[in-house]
Amino acid sequence: MSDALKQSLDLSIFWEYRAILLQGLVFNALVFLGAAALALSAGLGAALMRINRFWPARLVGTLYVEIFRNAPDYIMLVWVHFVLPLLIGIAIRRRVEFDPFASAVIALGLVYSGYFAEGFRAGIQAIPQGNLDAGRAFGMSERLILWRITLPQVVRRMLPEALNLFVSMFKATTIVSLIAVPDLMYNVSMVIQQEMRPLPLYTGAAITYFALIFLLSTGVRYFSESWRRKIMA
Amino acid sequence: MSDVPSIRVAGIHKSFGPIEVLRGVSFDVPRGSVVSVIGASGSGKSTLLRCVNYLEPPNAGEIYIDGEPLGTRIDVRGNRKPRSLSEVNAMRRELGVVFQQFNLWPHMTVLGNVIEAPIRVRKAPRKEAIAYGEECLRRVRMIEKANEYPARLSGGQQQRAAIARALAMRPKAMLFDEATSSLDPELTDEVLGVMRELARDGTTMIVVTHEMAFAREVSDRVIFLHQGVIEEEGPPAEIFGAPRSERLGQFLSKYRK
């Protein structure tokens, strides 16, 4: 093997830059957590709209879900970061700029809220009416029924699907480097510009993402499954 | 005070779209007594019970619990006003309901089911709720299953747990909606046994049932519902021994084989 090839395959350079790369990974995690919180809360809100008694609410909920579920995350990211501030700026007659981190959280959160909304809706509609009747008969308010009876069952039901969504979402956090959020991919690109050694650095990034996502999702699945199974007959 | 019945059902009408399911049903349930409601499928029995605790708000008529109207209140000017949902909620927790399909909450253990409403609705301290919940489970002989999840229980066990759940709210009366109809025959006895004990202990009960022998044995009064009206009512000996109406006779003959 030639020295040049050996050198280009040497992954140790990845380790040399571990501090800055780890910082990048922290940004991935922060974007993920922020977007997950937004996706879950907006998703639940949209789901409750979609099953509302009043048809205007149902219409708004359906439009919301369809728009965000069918928008590519890359386009949403660019749109939220560059177009949305312009529109807001025109509306309030002032120059507006979004912090890249905030744009990333909003864009990914909105896209994935469309998916979570469908999960929540299907889960809520799968709860037998008798479960809710029992809550009402014992004097529970609708809010209490939602939080104590409906959602705990919905969470268990949608957990496998939600886990897949979270994995996709974590992968999607890598595109935020496009609007200059200093995540792992962004920092890797910066190092490559200095070192001119894309092979070990991109490969190292790929291995890091793979290992992290694989370990986390396997771990969560393992620990959640027995808890989830208890309620199934 | 003692002449006020525990539950008064006064002129209940209920329609679903164009179909009038209940066409003016009235009866009293004195404190400590058991009233059974019998009748063919579609006679309106279950709807009647769901109206009694406003799971189905009646179109006309009113339910009184200890003399207090459940769905309406009298305002300061003496006018009848419909109660808000939260007021109805506060009133109907006085009635313990046992459903045909048990309707236990599957994500909670048996004890979790039993203490949920006392803690969340009655705001009972957790320790107290557990102590009384365990007492209720002992009463229905389910204490050894307190930490099981409903999915692991037989139908009879689930229904006994559901009875404990209703008792844990210390209700003024218990409503049973065909509590044994979805159980295998060999499991109905354990549930009827618990219901029999409750009746003997002086629990005020309305029992919608297809178990004629049971209704005859435990009831103070039996109501025969036919096409949304009370066709005949009286003490069990009369209803089962000497039915006056032709329809009741026909209905009962189907159960004597």
Note the pLDDT tens digit of each residue in A73-111. 899 999 999 999 999 999 999 998 999 999 999 999 999
- Residue-wise pLDDT for B173-217, tens only, equals 999 999 998 888 888 989 999 999 999 998 999 999 999 999 999
Q: What residues of A are in contact with residue B115 (Cβ under 8 Å)? A: none
The CB density around residue B213, as the number of other CB atoms within 10 Å, is 11
Tell me the chain A residues in contact with residue B103 when contact means C-beta distances shorter than 8 Å.
128, 130-131, 133-134
SS3 A94: coil
Q: Is the dihedral of CA B144, B149, B150, B153 positive or negative?
A: negative
B-chain residues near A230 (CB < 8 A): 107, 149, 151
Surface of A (118-177) touching B: CB under 8 A:
128, 130-131, 133-142, 144, 148-149, 152-153, 156
The complex's ipTM works out to: 0.89
Q: Tell me if B151 and A232 make a contact (CB, 8 A cut-off).
A: yes
| β-pairing verdict for B173-177 and B72-74 | unpaired
Residues of chain B contacting A, Cβ within 8 Å: 53, 55, 85-86, 89-90, 92-93, 95-97, 99, 101-107, 116-117, 120-121, 149-151, 165-166, 169
pLDDT of B1 reads 45
- Compute CA distances A155 → A69, A87, A173, B28, B66, whole Å: 20, 37, 24, 44, 41
At A232 the pLDDT is 66
pLDDT < 50: residue spans in chain A: none
Q: Mean pLDDT over residues B45-68, rounded?
A: 91
pLDDT grade for B255, boundaries at 50, 70 and 90? confident
Mean pLDDT value of segment B67-71: 87
Query: For A209-232, what is the HEC assignment?
Result: HHHHHHHHHHHHHHHHHHHHHCCC
Contact A230 B99 (CB under 8 A): no
Q: What percent of chain A has pLDDT over 70?
A: 98
Within 13 Å, how many C-alpha atoms sit on residue B220's CB side?
16
